[in-house]
A and B are shown apart, each in its own frame.
Chain A
């Protein structure tokens, strides 16, 4: 709180949705920090609560059937309990967001330039339309859109996927935010474009000094950019570590599974990639104890109790996890055919 470097402090954030199927506990007590200029990745599969966490920070999950607990302080402002108008001043200006599908995330019937101008002018009432337009063009050029002046007059459907995401980035950065939340920014894109976009994003953030929360299901994407990684499963953080720690010394069996399913260049292409067997947990009636228990080949009696998010490594570092296994057991169990992975009954073809 007193740390000037600390940009965001999330404490025990819980998000529930009332639905006709029951109460969905989408996020079940998440705590983490983001420092200025830091890139934090949140990784997990669909339904793990990673996107809800990210969007809740922006207040985008607010609705009649949602309820929130916990806190998130951003630059000294409480976000979770904030009034809508307070939040609005932060949205877009201090925290900006990039979404997964750049096609549907841009208004299809508005020119791209106009959409950026709208963002600029909503936070800067003094700026003229013309000046805002010029700034939009500059921003577009800066994110690598060629012939930005002409392209500003185009509609989203006239852009390629990568160009659209660049336009989204230009829009997000238009008010120089201190935090950029990127929710699966490259999922909808071609693999070759993915890398480009990610590196440009990284470069832009370094230039502007913005911190990034990168939400992704793909550890491969995260590897290029993240300083720290949070792994989420079933609405909880199951492991939190620096990028290197996570890749070289993963503690949670779920993380092993994620790592095991990355296609890596150093592996034989023809080899089968193991996927994690089973279904993601129900958020309405989650399994008792460790949420990963039903899918975990290494589960034992103790797993019916919820493991805390603790540091279980000797060094007492910031590397936290939620697994009852001892570090030694983990080290042994995570090695599958010589690489990190989750032992499994099923495999799929890559």
Chain B
């Protein structure tokens, strides 16, 4: 690539090259530059704010439950009768059809098939979905980075083993592996020696999702490190007598950091979607804990009488994931204008 800034002809590319030039001149770090670029991307910021808003709303779930809806996420009001527009109405009709949105404090978004307040469950469900998404992302990113870097750095049999393991996981369809692990592990929980995870724990679902996505991040990181390790500065570090650990995490890691950062929102969005999918297939969050996925799948049963049970959590899920995706796209544009990094669904 030419270093002559004016050589590149068209818009986007041109600007990024100039930025690189500027950065050389002015000594602005790549991350500050990216932050500056991101700050100019109003659409990405708006969607990021949308996501933040959803997060805040979900965090405020206990307040809403306690002060406005006066019920918990798992409290059932099956045989209760409440007043809607002055008329007493069953929360759950004798044949089990839940009340629709009342647009008032109690049952603002209606009740679900077990007479629980949908609005309250929506917020608590969001907490669970987000928690799983964040934990899964953490697991994926952590393990994928370590495996990718260590494998590519040392090469040899260790790398072979890691690559084969990646291939193995990668050859499964995501949901098939997810439900296989989900169904079997939920029956027994997971005993990792030091700590035990109960079958009904959210962490277990997060762990499964995190595990499934490892190769999708690990492979690109490994590829990048394979190139990096041949570069001069790594040689130099080696000749200085730096230890492998120091080189891997002091020299290599910072150079793949932008790739890792780009993957974070992608994996977060995909984890949340996968959680929903697994819950739909009965291998995700366990009842009675709500999550957006379980709420949708419970709601599907009551279509067509109560489409709101599907629409409410579904739209919330789409909005949250959309927020992450658009914001993440902005982050990627800012860090990696050539958009070389992508993930399979």
A and B directly contacting (CB within 8 A): yes
Residues of A bordering B, CB below 8 Å: 15, 17, 19-21, 24, 26, 46-47, 49, 51-52, 55, 60-65, 100, 279, 282-284
Within the complex, the shortest CB–CB distance from B301 to chain A, in Å, comes to 52
Residues of B with C-beta under 8 A to A64: 10-11
The answer, yes or no, to whether B18 is at the interface (CB within 8 Å) is yes
B21, B37, B40, most chain A CB atoms within 10 A:
B21
Interchain CA distance A24-B11 in the complex, whole Å: 13
Q: Chain B residues with Cβ under 8 A from A24's Cβ? A: 5-6, 18
Determine the chain A residues whose CB is within 8 A of the CB of B14 once the complex forms: 17, 19, 63, 65
Main secondary structure of the interface of A (DSSP, over half): loop
* A5–B4 alpha-carbon span in the complex (Å): 33
Contacts A15-B6, A19-B18, A21-B21 known; list 14 others, CB within 8 Å.
A19-B5, A19-B15, A20-B15, A21-B18, A24-B18, A26-B5, A47-B5, A51-B4, A61-B6, A63-B10, A63-B11, A64-B11, A282-B25, A283-B6
Contacting A100 at CB < 8 Å: which of B2, B21, B22? B2
Q: Is the CB of A61 within 8 A of B18?
A: no
Which chain B residues have a beta carbon within 8 Å of chain A's beta carbons?
2-7, 9-11, 14-15, 18-19, 21-22, 25, 37, 40
Closest chain B CB from A104 CB (angstroms): 9
Is the pair B9, A21 in contact by a Cβ cutoff of 8 Å? no
- From B23, which residue of chain A is reached at the shortest CB distance? A21
List the A side residues contacting B18 at CB < 8 Å: 17, 19-21, 24
User: Are B15 and A51 in contact (CB-based, < 8 A)?
Assistant: no
- B21 surroundings in chain A (CB, below 8 A): 21
Residues of A within 8 A of B6 (CB): 15, 17, 24, 26, 47, 49, 51-52, 61, 283
Chain B residue nearest to A25 in the complex (CB): B6
- In the complex, A46→B8 CA distance in Å? 13
Question: How many whole Å from B330's CB to the nearest CB in chain A?
Answer: 14
Q: Give bound CA distance, A55 to B258, whole Å.
A: 34
Measured CB to CB, the nearest residue on chain B to A21 is: B22
- Least CB separation from B37: chain A residue: A20
Chain B residues with Cβ below 8 Å from A19 are 5, 14-15, 18-19
Rounded to whole angstroms, the CA-CA distance of A61 and B14 in the bound complex is 11
Pick the 9 closest A-B CB pairs, nearest first: A26-B6, A19-B18, A52-B6, A21-B22, A63-B10, A46-B4, A19-B15, A20-B15, A21-B18
Nearest Cβ on chain B to A212's Cβ, whole angstroms: 20
**Residue contacts A-B, CB under 8 angstroms, 12 given:** A17-B18, A20-B15, A20-B40, A21-B15, A21-B19, A24-B5, A24-B6, A26-B5, A26-B6, A65-B11, A282-B25, A283-B5
Q: Are B7 and A51 in contact (CB under 8 A)?
A: yes
Question: In whole angstroms, how far apart are the Cα atoms of A64 and B4 in the complex?
Answer: 19
- Interchain CA distance A46-B7 in the complex, whole Å: 10
Distance A166 CA – B10 CA, assembled complex (angstroms): 28
Q: When chains A and B are docked, how far (Å) is the Cα of A46 from the Cα of B21?
A: 12
Complex: A57 Cα to B267 Cα, angstroms: 47
**B residues in contact with A283, CB < 8 Å:** 5-6
Q: Which of B4, B9, B11, B40 touches A47 (beta carbons < 8 Å)?
A: B4
Give the chain B neighbours of A51 by CB distance below 8 A: 4, 6-7
Contacts of B19 in A (CB 8 A): 19-21
Q: Which of B9, B25, B37, B40 has the most CB of A within 10 A?
A: B9
- How far, in angstroms, from A60 to B6 measured CA to CA in the complex? 11
- Residues of chain B lying within 8 A (CB to CB) of residue A49: 6
Q: Which residues of A contact B40 (CB under 8 A)?
A: 20
Instruction: Write out the residue numbers on chain A whose beta carbons fall within 8 Å of the beta carbon of B5.
Output: 19, 24, 26, 47, 283
Residue of B4, B10, B18, B22 contacting most chain A CB atoms (<10 Å): B4
Q: Check B11 against A60 for contact (C-beta < 8 Å).
A: no
Q: Could you tell me the distance between the alpha carbons of A87 and B152 in the complex, rounded to whole angstroms? A: 50
**A52 lies within 8 A of B7 (CB):** yes
Chain B residues, Cβ within 8 Å of A15: 6
CB distance from A54 to the nearest CB of B (A): 10
Q: Which residues of A contact B10 (CB under 8 A)?
A: 63-64
Q: Closest residue of chain B to A64, judged by CB?
A: B11
Chain A nearest CB from B33 CB (Å) reads 10
| Chain B positions within 8 Å of A47 at CB level | 4-6
Query: Which of B2, B3, B11, B25 has a CB less than 8 Å from the CB of A279?
Result: B25
A78: min CB distance to chain B, Å: 21
- Give the interface centre of B6, B19, B21, B37 by most chain A CB atoms within 10 Å: B6
State in angstroms the CA–CA spacing of A65 and B11 once bound together: 6
Complex: A139 Cα to B6 Cα, angstroms: 32
Cα-based distance from A283 to B6 in the complex (angstroms) = 10
Q: A284–B22 Cα gap in the complex (Å)?
A: 10
